[in-house]
Structure 1
Amino acid sequence: MTTVSAPPQSQRSALQGFLTSRPVMKLRRNKLAMLGLLITLLFVLVAFFAPFIARPSAGSNCLRDLGVSSPNQIYNPAGGAFWQVLFSAPESCYAIERESFSPTPTPPSSEAIFGTSQGYDIFYGLVWGTRTMFKLGLIIVGITLLTGVIIGAISGYYGGWIDNLIQRFLDVLFALPGLVLTIILITFLKASNPGIDPSVPIILAFVATGWASYAKIVRGDVIRTRQLEYVDAARSLGARDNRLILKHIVPNSLASVLTIAVLDLGTVPLGIAALSFLGLGFPAGYAEWGQLVDFARAWLQPQYWYVMVYPAAFIILFSLGFNLFGDALRDAYDPKTR
C-alpha cells in the first residue's frame, strides 16, 4: 500500500504569512515602491546578462581568455564559456570595446548603438558597468553591514566601558567628512601598494568609512531588544551570551539596518562613480559609469548629447529605483507607521 506524503504545510503557511504580512501588503499597495522594484530588477537582469546584451567582439582579449574564437560560442550552454562569462567573467571582459582612437565622439550607429566617447563604445561600457556597480555594491554593503552588526551588537549588549569605548571611536569617525576620508584612504592605499587591484582600495575605503552608521543603529535596537521579556526568559533558562545575541537579539534588531542597506546599494555605486570621475577609481577604459561621465566632460555640446545623456540616464534610473523601493521598505517596517 502506497502513501502520499502531505504537502509541506508549514513552509507554505510561512510563505503565505510573509506575503500577507502588514509590511509586505503595505509595499504591494505602494505603486512607487513597485516601480522602484521593477527598475531595480531590470538593472539586476542587465548586470547578470551583460555578456549577452553587450557581447565581446571577435578577436577581443575577453574571448581569448574565455578560450573561444567566436562571440556566438558564449551563447552555447553546453560550453564552458557560457557559464564562465556569467559567473566569473575574466577582467579583460570589463575592458570597454574601443571602436577607434579618435577623441571626437561619434553618433549612435549599428556598430555602437549609443555612440562612442573617446573612441570607447558607450553601450558596452554602460552594460558591463552595471555589473561592476552591482558587484562592488554588494561586496561593500555586505562587509559593511556585517561589520556594523557585529560591533553594534557587542556595544549594545555588553554596555559599560566596552560600549563607551566603541561609541567614542564612532564619534571620531562621524566628526570626519566621509567623502574626504574615503579619498584619503584610497590615495594612501594606492600609493603604498603600487599595482594593487583597483577594486581593493575602493572596497577597503568604503567599508572603513561606512560601518559606523550601521553599528550606531544596531546598538540602539539591541539596547531596546535585550530588555524584552523573551530575552530575560531565555537568560533564566541558562542561555549563554553568544546564543542570546545570535539567536534572540540580533535577528530581532535588523529591520531598520536592512532597509538602510537596501538604500546603500543604490548610493554606494554612485560614490564609486564619483571617485572614477575624480580619477581615483579604475584605470581608463574599464567598464564603469564614472569614467564615461568623465569622458563626456570635454564634449558638453548639443551635437554630442549622447555622450552625457546615456550615462546620466543609467545613473539617475539606478538611483531612483533603489531610493523608491528603499524608502518604501523603510516606511513599511517602521513601527511608528503601523
Structure 2
Amino acid sequence: MAMVSEPTHDVTAAPIEKGSDVGEVSQWRLMARRFKQSKLAVTGGLILLVMYAIALLAPFLSPNDPTAVDSNLKNAAPSKLTWDGGLAICGQTQTLNEENFTFEYKVDCNKASKVEWFGKGYEYKILGLIPSDRHLITAKEPTKLMLWGGDIDGRDVFSRTLAGSQVSLTIGLFGVSVATILAAVIGTISGYFGGLVDNLLQRAIEIILSVPTLPLWATMAAVLPRDMTVTKRYFLITIILSLVAWAGLARQVRGKVMAYSSADYVAAARAAGSGHSRIILTHMVPNSVSHLVVVTMLAIPGTIIAETSLSFLGIGMLPPAVSWGVLLQDAQKIQVVTQYPWMLIPAVAVILAVTCYQLLGDGVRDAVDPYG
C-alpha cells in the first residue's frame, strides 16, 4: 500500500519589525510606557511645557512693558475686571494716606475701560528677530491692565513675572547642561582609566564637595563686576552654577563606568582591538545616558533655586535684568508682604516649577528601570 505524504508547507519566520527586538529601541519604548503610567510625572511634564511656552511668548502675553515705571500705579492692587458690553477694567484713583505715607486706590467701575484682544502695545521682537507690537490682551490708554498689581515703582508684576521666567527657567537648563557635560567627561575618564588619573580627579572632587555650596556660589557671584551687561552676567552666572554642580554627578558616573569596564562586552571590545575612545563612546557613555538623564532632571530645580537665592540676595542677576529672584527682592520686608501680598507671586512660580521638575524627575527615575 502506497504511502501518501501530506503536502508540506514552507514555514518561514515572520519578518522582525525594526525596533521590536530586545535592544536600544525597545528599551526606550519600555521606559516611555512606564513613564506614562506615572500620572504625576506626566502632569508635571505638561505643566513645564506650558511654562516654557509662556516664557517663549512672554512679550506677546504681557499687556505692559515689564520695565516701564508708572508713579501713578505704585503698589497698585490687581485690576478689578467687570463686564461692560465686553470684558473691561474698573478705573481706580490714587490717593496718598498722609498718616502712614502709603498710596491707596479707590476703585470705580463706573469708569471702566474695555479690554482689547490682540491690540497694540509696546514694541518687542518675536523670538528676538521679528519686530511686533501686538499683544494678546491690552487696555485702552491711559488705563493699564495690572492683572497681578504693581510693584513699588508702578511696574506690572504680571508682565515682570513672565519676563523673569525667561531667565529663571532657562538658566537652570543651561547650567545643568554644562555641568552634565563636565560630569560625563570627567567621570568617564576617572572610572575608565583609574590609577593616578582617578586619584587626582577624585581628590579634586572631594575638595569641591567639601565647600558649602551656597557660600561658594555667593563668593564667586559677588566678585563679578556690577556694571557688566545683562547678557554677560547671565552667561557667567550660568557658568558659576555649573562649576559646582558637576562634582557629585561625576562621582556617580565614575561608579557606573567602573562597573561597566569589567563587563564581558568591554573585554570583547578590547580583544577585538577597539581603542579607548571607541570603547568609551560606544559602550561606556551610552550605558550611562539613562542615569545622566535622571540626575539632570533632579538637578535642574536645585539650579533654579540657586539662581533665585543669589538674585534675592542681590549678587545674582541684577536690575535691569528681570528674574524671579530679582522680583522677590521687593518682598524682603514683612510690611510689603502683609500689605501687598501679590509681590509674592514670583515665589509661587518658583515653587510650581521646582515641584514639577521633581515630579518629572521621579517619574523618569522610575522609568529607567523598567524591569524593577
Report the TM-score when normalising by structure 1: 0.78
Tell me which of 171, 175, 179 is aligned to 1:136.
Answer: 171
- Following the alignment from structure 1 to structure 2, what is the Cα–Cα distance between the partners of residues 184 and 174? 16
Count of aligned positions: 291
Alpha-carbon distance in 1 for matches of 2:208, 2:227 = 23
Deviation at 1:299, TM superposition (A): 5.9
How many Å separate the matches in 2 of 1:300 and 1:138? 34
Name 1:113's counterpart in structure 2.
147
Per-residue deviation, residues 257-307 of structure 1 (Å, max 9, x unmatched): 221111222221121011110001222242200111111223645764443
Change (3 A) 1:190 1:208: farther
**Judging changes above 3 Å, is the alpha-carbon distance between structure 1 residues 16 and 139 closer, same or farther for their aligned structure 2 residues?**
closer
Decide whether aligned partners of structure 1 residues 312 and 189 sit closer, same or farther in structure 2, where only a CA change above 3 A counts: closer
Between the aligned partners of 1:186 and 1:46, the Cα distance in structure 2 is: 28
Superposed, 1:43-122 pairs within 5 Å as: 43-54=51-62, 57=65, 96-101=66-71, 104-109=74-79, 110-119=144-153, 120-122=155-157
Q: Deviations over 1:8-67 (max 9, x none)?
A: x6479999955984332222111111121121111121122222212665xxxxxxxxxx
Indicate conservation of the 8 Å contact 2:337/2:343, yes or no. no
Other-structure match for 2:268: 233
2:31 is aligned with what amino acid? P
Moved more, 44-53 or 303-312: 303-312
TM superposition shift of 1:229:
1.3
Q: Given the superposition, is the C-alpha separation of residues 274 and 217 from structure 1 closer, same or farther in structure 2, using an over 3 Å criterion? A: same
Equivalent residues of 2:63, 2:145 under 8 A apart? no
Partner SS state of residue 75, structure 2: coil
Q: What residue number does 2:314 align with? A: 279
Aligned to 1:288: 323
Instruction: Name the structure with the higher strand share.
Output: 2
Of all paired residues, the percent bearing the same amino acid is: 29
Aligned partners of 1:143 and 1:302: how far apart in 2? 36
Q: 1:219 to 1:275 in 2, by over 3 A?
A: same
Taking a change above 3 Å as real, the CA distance of residues 196 and 308 of structure 1, as seen in their structure-2 partners, is closer
Partner of 2:193: 158
Higher helix proportion (structure 1 or 2): 1
Partners of 2:319 and 2:227 lie apart in 1 by: 21
Larger Rg: 2
| Contact in 1 for aligned 2:75/2:340 (Cα 8 Å) | no
1:149-205 deviations in Å (ceiling 9; x for gaps): 100000000000100111111111111101111111112233798998221331221
Closer/same/farther in 2, CA of residues 179 and 236 from structure 1, 3 Å limit: same
C-alpha contact (below 8 Å) 2:230/2:321 kept by paired residues: no
Query: Contact 1:256–1:334 (CA<8 Å) still a contact in 2?
Result: no
Q: Indicate if the aligned counterparts of 2:175 and 2:241 stay in contact, CA closer than 8 A.
A: yes
Q: Secondary structure at the match of 1:315?
A: helix
* Residue segments in structure 1 that go unaligned for 5+ positions in a row: 1-8, 58-95
Question: Counterpart amino acid of 1:26?
Answer: R
Letter in 2 for 1:224: A
CA positional deviation for 1:97: 2.7
Report which structure shows greater RCO (CA 8 Å, sep ≥6): 1
**Whole-angstrom CA distance in 1 between matches of 2:21 and 2:203:** 46
